[in-house]
Amino acid sequence: MSLLDDHVVTGTGLVDEDTGRGRFRVHRCAMTAPEVLNRELAEIFNRCWLYVGHTSEVTEPGDYVRRSVGGRPVFMVRARKSGQVKVFHNTCPHRGAVVCRADTGNTKIFQCFYHAWTFDTEGRLTGMPGRDAYEGGADFAELSLREVARVEEYRGFVFACYDPEAVDLVTYLGQAREYLDLVVDAMGEPEIVAGSNQYSINANWKLLVENSIDGYHGPSTHDTYIKYIVSQGTDIRSGAGGGNAGYDLGNGHGVIEYGAPWGRPIAKWDPLFGENARPGMEQTAQDLARRFGESRGHAMTHTNRNLLIFPNLVINDIMAVTVRTLMPTAAGHVEVNAWQLAPRDEAEDVRAQRLDSFLTFLGPGGFATPDDLEALESCQQGFASGGVEWSDISRGMGRDRAKHDDEEQIRAFWRQWQAVVEGSAR
């Protein structure tokens, strides 16, 4: 037994921050030990606010989507009578079968096929065959669908939390809210585009957290993508140098902001959009500057941001906008779900270029994401070699203000991760 066995079981001492020496380390057991994953499931995924879906996915009464949230099957439905967006545990209160068995649809009722118990979209049990067999009558209220303990929405983003005692969502989001606001305000009325990416990586989920908000790996890992956009006419110098920074937003949330050469579909024109789109995009930039002020408008239109909402929601507002969740199924395996957010009333050619930018960079069939998968799987394989116990995450620690290619936003995640996993955040 090494000293570390205790740490793995208790989840303590896995993050080592030494501000005096400007050194920040994470013990690699955090990525490899099944005991750590068990603590994460109990302390993180059963207690934190987790993203479920977007209200644009359930606009009509009876619209529903089936999801896995924190590793549990649930479904989100726009209830017909109340109009509320509800999130239910996807299990029949009778004997357990899942009651929502399609990924998406519109319905008046959910019927469990096993014994034909029927529920309305408010979750109420409305019928069962042979109810006279229950002595004293069946308690329909007690036997109705169970809502997830806490469900709240922030500007269209629906979150759920399995802990009834959790703080409210707005408090939880804290400083991350203003970055969500930038995304939503720039779009006006955002919607989730049809189609999603559901892939997986043979790597610890936290490696994808790091990667999603890491401005350092771009030039080396994504060389072929940069070469591709340059070959298509993108000016490599355009956009660089503006407001490059990385922030610890508190509560484990982190963000990087930076200029980048690629076009941004709201209003940073690039030759890939075509000349036709140029006047409209320039007009949008002016409109947003007028409505929200020069600096906030510019942040919306020209600044890229990779935002992590602790623990497992990534919203990257770059050459397209992805809404991505990550969920571990083992210490060395993560399931990734990714959707795409876009303005509902977007011009056709801009939308087409947005979709194109998404799939070439963010999509698993594109010119960049497969190489991220390779990097993360490579890290996980490297951990197995041993010899090196700690990963170094010290980049930029001495600076007054961290840059986007430093690791301050990644340290933000790890600080909260340590506190939550060891139980000191409560």
Q: Which of 248, 279, 251, 285 is nearest to 266 (CA)?
A: 285
Least Å distance between CB 22 and another protein? 30
Provide the binding-site residues for another protein, judged by CB under 8 A.
103, 193-202, 221, 223-224, 227-228, 231-232, 335, 339-340, 348, 351-352, 355-356, 358-360, 363-367, 369-371, 373-375, 377, 381
Nearest residue (CB) to another protein, 149 versus 352: 352
Shortest CB 235 distance to another protein, Å: 18
In the complex, the smallest distance separating the C-beta of residue 156 from another protein, rounded to whole angstroms, is 18
Bridge partners for 26 per DSSP: 15, 391
Q: Supply the minimum distance, in Å, between the C-beta of residue 58 and another protein.
A: 16
Which of 228, 390 has the CB closer to another protein?
A: 228
Q: Which residues contact 11 (CB under 8 A, 6 or more apart)?
A: 36, 39, 43, 421, 422, 423
Residue 362 is classified by DSSP as: I
Asked whether the CA dihedral 84, 90, 96, 102 is positive or negative, the reply is: positive
Residues 6+ apart with CB under 8 A from 5: none
Do β-strands 85-89 and 72-78 pair in parallel, antiparallel, or remain unpaired?
Answer: antiparallel
What is the b/e burial string over 29-57, where b = at least 16 CB atoms within 10 angstroms of the residue's CB?
Answer: bbbbbeebbebbeebbbbbbbbbbbbbbb
Q: Measured from the CB of residue 180, what is the shortest distance to another protein in angstroms?
A: 21
Find all residues with CB under 8 Å of 387, minimum gap 6, and list them.
Answer: none
284, 264 Cβ separation under 8 angstroms: no
For another protein, give the closer residue by CB, 14 or 320: 320
Instruction: State which residue, 183 or 362, has the beta carbon closest to another protein.
Output: 362
Closest contact distance (angstroms) between CB of 288 and another protein is 25
Q: Which is nearer to another protein, 87 or 323 (CB)?
A: 323
Based on CB atoms, which residue is closest to another protein, 141 or 194?
A: 194
Q: Name the minimum Å distance from CB 244 to another protein.
A: 24
Minimum Å gap between C-beta 199 and another protein is 4
Please say which residue, 5 or 374, places its beta carbon nearer to another protein.
Answer: 374
Evaluate the omega torsion of the peptide bond into residue 311 and state whether it is cis, within 30 degrees of 0.
yes
Residue-wise burial string across 155-171, b where 16 or more C-beta atoms lie within 10 A, e elsewhere: ebbbbbbbeeebeebee
Ramachandran angles phi, psi of 25, nearest 5°: -130, 150
The answer to whether the CB of 200 falls within 8 A of the CB of 372 is no
Which CB atom, from 3 or from 194, has the smaller least distance to another protein? 194
